[in-house]
Structure 1
Amino acid sequence: MLLSSAIFYYSYVRITYEKWLKKSNPKYPSASLVRLEIILMVKGILAGTFCPALALYLMGKQKLKGYCGIDEYGWKYLIVSFFIAWISTDFFEFFYHRMGHTIDILWKVHKSHHQFYNPTPFAVIAEDYVDQIVGALPLVFIPALIPINMDLLFFQFAFFFYGYGVYLHWGHEFSYPDAHHPAINTSFQHYLHHAVSTRNKPYHTGFFFKIWDQLFGSIYPNEKCFCVKCQHAQGYRTREHYDNVEKPDYRVLLQWRFWINSK
């Protein structure tokens, strides 16, 4: 929440022309939509604690193969298990996300996340509680299947999935890695996903690695790319365009009446 708030303040409140040039969608979301993102994010935080709490409970009951420290399995196993957990979880997140677009009952669950077609960092876990619980299941099933350092596993989820997820929902792009990176999903791919993916159109449901979407044929056509670099090449993003963009007053998010009365 603090990370999302800090990035939102820098990128959406302290708006400049230079920052806008990096924004995938040239428009800014309304304060009401950001309010809804924050409400669903708080609900997502509550739901997202279920699997971590369950994992710690089962660890206490010695029902899982998780462990702490290095000595028991050594550094080599720690490094190998890091990549096993990272790659397997990335595929799991991709495939469950893909099913959220291709299976009707799961789309009914997932579509609440897609009301944020122009997301901010608050949208990272602004989704249904079912998506939150299922998305965190690797915290339980990985230590149920193999010995894994639990500190490492929790760190991976905090950094590689929540932290990277905030970047994916940032709505702005880095010069590198840019949208055309051959292996890594960037913030543009995830913005594109929010903007054009819907039921039975699962473009870029991958999280970190592009390979899953490449294997399943769900890469958006490169010739239709509308990342900021391609927009610049086409002559868009002028100063005049920026001056005409509506810039919402997000200070209302600090007013309690806005939270009570806003619809």
Structure 2
Amino acid sequence: MGIDSLTRAAQGAVGSTLSELVWYTLAASAAYLFFYVAFRTRLRHRRASPRDPHAGQIRREVAHSLRSILVFGVVTLFVLLAARAGWTRLYGRVEQYGWPWFFASIAVMVVVHDAYFYWTHRLMHHPRVFRLVHRAHHRSTSPTPWAAYAFGPVEAVVQAGIGPLVVFTIPTHGAAFAAFMAWQIGFNVLGHCGYEIFPRWFLRTPLGWVLNSVTHHAQHHEAFRANYGLYFNVWDRLMGTNHPDYRARFEQATAGGAATPPEAPTADEPQPLTAAW
């Protein structure tokens, strides 16, 4: 591989990293300003957890998020180098696979990512793995939007792994992957916002049976041992890892205020994974 290919791959990785930084900053900032500044008092009854984050936690989440984006950039560089060597299934002309696949591929990426996240997430909660890989993320027992990318370095590599998994296995247009990333950032940021955004009747609908709520992930940050899913509630239902109090907590949050949850475990001492393993 020549110097020109290396240069172009590096330029692409820098551009991708800056783009992700901008979109993540915009999404997290907008969610934080909306829920924690502009409507903090008015939406107090919608808090998925009664614990309020402190300034030190927010600074830590921002710093860890920036580091994670740098790690994502390094992974992107290797993907682009592999693409230039012809090892990936990235393609540039929509006509090559057609518009139906262009849109279908976005849905496939979302479904694959949801499965990838669930199983890697459960693995990271194993007692022998947790402290090394996942502890940094769980230092936020009451997360803010900035916790969406607040990972330790090893976990950041794991989270970035969805990119290579996709582009090495399915035909992927760059714009379709960008649309998938926009969905991923938006859902992840809202999932960590700490305020329930769905109406009380949501869980009684087919969409509520499939899609995760803010309460679902907020409860995971408190209890550690349940609610491992990202976008969908399918894997947690199939594997029996939904928190038994999930529906009750959701209804409390959407009825005017969540009850005080049990004392959360510390990030240094995760609870045994009796139900999950």
Q: Percent identity?
A: 23
Distance (whole Å) between structure 1 residues aligned to residue 228 and residue 246 of structure 2: 19
Distance (whole Å) between structure 2 residues aligned to residue 224 and residue 5 of structure 1: 29
For the 8 Å contact 1:50–1:133, the answer to whether it is kept is no
User: If the length of structure 1 is used for normalisation, what is the TM-score?
Assistant: 0.80
Task: Specify the alignment match of 1:225 in structure 2.
Answer: 248
Task: Specify the alignment match of 1:212 in structure 2.
Answer: 235
Task: Specify the alignment match of 2:171 in structure 1.
Answer: 147
Deviates more, 1:62-71 or 1:72-81: 72-81
* Residues 59-84 of structure 1 deviation map (CA, whole Å, 9 limit, x = unaligned): 22222111022111112222332222
Structure 1: any 5+ residue segments left out of the alignment?
Answer: 238-263
CA shift for structure 1 position 224? 6.9
Structure 1 residues 170 and 236, CA, compared in 2 at 3 Å: closer, same or farther?
A: closer
For the 8 Å contact 1:91–1:212, the answer to whether it is kept is yes
1:194 maps onto 2:252 in alignment: no
CA shift for structure 1 position 177? 7.9
Structure 2: any 5+ residue segments left out of the alignment?
Answer: 1-24, 259-277
Moved over 4 A (4+): none
Task: Specify the alignment match of 1:99 in structure 2.
Answer: 123
CA shift for structure 1 position 168? 0.4
* Residues 20-79 of structure 1 deviation map (CA, whole Å, 9 limit, x = unaligned): 111112232111111111111111111122222222222222221110221111122223
CA shift for structure 1 position 133? 1.5
Number of equivalenced pairs: 231
Distance (whole Å) between structure 2 residues aligned to residue 57 and residue 143 of structure 1: 12
- Alignment equivalent of 1:85, drawn from 94, 98, 109: 109
1:1-263 to structure 2, matched below 5 A, reads 1-102=25-126, 104-157=128-181, 159-176=182-199, 180=203, 181-197=208-224, 201=225, 203-222=226-245, 225-227=248-250, 229-231=251-253
Structure 1 residues 178 and 62, CA, compared in 2 at 3 Å: closer, same or farther?
A: farther
For the 8 Å contact 1:24–1:191, the answer to whether it is kept is yes
Structure 1 residues 230 and 57, CA, compared in 2 at 3 Å: closer, same or farther?
A: same
What RMSD over aligned residues (CA atoms) do the two structures have, in Å? Answer: 2.3
